[in-house]
Amino acid sequence: MSYDLLSSRQPILDKIVFFCAVIRCGSFKEACLQQGISTAAGSRWVKELEEAMSVELVKRSTRQIAATQAGQMLFERFSPLLPELRSLCEEVQNFAEEQRGEIKLSSTPLFARQYLTKIVAEYIEMHPQVNFKIFIEAGSFDPLNIDFTFRASASYQGEHEEDSLLIRRKLLREPLYLCASPHYLITHGIPKTPDELSQHRCLYAQTLVGENKWCFQRNGTTEMVTIKDTLECDNSEMLLDLALENAGIAYLPHSLVSDKIAKGELQHIMQDYQCASFDIDLFFRPRSPMPERCAGFKQYLYKRVKELHCS
């Protein structure tokens, strides 16, 4: 006997969405955190889904979970529909006069501290029905589950920009400075050319430069220097602290080090070379229409970043 699983007597879509999250995460606990439900409710939902469909969907063990053949088919067929379902719900929400709903952001620590904290606080004050979920991270991200992503990168003249399905908008650009503490330079000497950096302890962020290379330009010539594996850290503020503690030479943005250089706590070196630029880019997936809360926040973000950067 067949049953209409989509009838009002058998609410099932939420359970399928949660099931897909479980398979995608490979963890009940992680899926429950993402979906905002308790682990007990999540486990019950999957059992109820299996009972409604009269088939086992997940094999459970103490160490891992895996989809059965039926579960894998459900996941593979339903998961591609989720972005379209979200888009449909967002289009309906756009009819509301007041902005409401959740905006998910992924940001590097430095941009979050210097700009995002203030901007989000202001936006919440103006739109109390809008909620934010913010992830502080510098590496890869899932564009289907994040509305706006802020990433730092080091770019130089003539660099080829990689193709991407995401929309990319430059928010900020400022010079990178090569700098170290006076104590470090007295002890280890001051490098005069990029090649001499191979003799020094260098502090770098791979997520910023894309790899363990620093770029320098002079008289129209570009030089790329491979940095020895001395110390890698994806947090620019920690790299600054390490440079201040005499750990080595750092490659950091103007806004982070200019005050330390002015006070003599750091020394700007190799000034006859032009370093790469420090860029903050905004990434988001193309959506038409974009949810009103996201479109409104994006416009406010552009305006406030420009104002704060110029102040």
Share of the chain above pLDDT 70, in %: 88
pTM above 0.75, yes or no: no
> 262 Cβ partners below 8 Å, 6+ apart?
none
Across 188-212, average pLDDT: 85
Rounded to an integer, what distance in angstroms lies between the CA atom of residue 145 and that of residue 83?
A: 9
Name the nearest CA neighbour of 28 among 245, 37, 296, 56: 37
User: Across the chain, what does the average pLDDT equal?
Assistant: 85
Across 106-135, average pLDDT: 94
Residue 259 pLDDT: 95
Tell whether the model's pLDDT for residue 101 goes beyond 80: yes
Residue 214 pLDDT: 85
All structural domains of the chain: 12-94 (1.10.10.10), 97-310 (3.40.190.290)
Residue 164 pLDDT: 65
Tell whether the model's pLDDT for residue 293 goes beyond 80: yes
- Per-residue pLDDT tens digits for 244-282: 999 999 989 999 999 999 999 999 999 999 888 889 999
Across 212-230, average pLDDT: 82
Tell whether the model's pLDDT for residue 229 goes beyond 70: no
Contact present, 136 and 112 (Cβ < 8 Å):
yes
More confident residue, 167 or 62: 167
- Per-residue pLDDT tens digits for 65-92: 888 998 899 889 988 888 778 777 776 7
How many CB atoms are closer than 10 A to CB 70? 15
Tell whether the model's pLDDT for residue 133 goes beyond 90: yes
Rg, Å, the chain Cα set: 25
Residue 1 pLDDT: 39
Residues in the chain: 311
Rounded to an integer, what distance in angstroms lies between the CA atom of residue 84 and that of residue 114?
A: 35
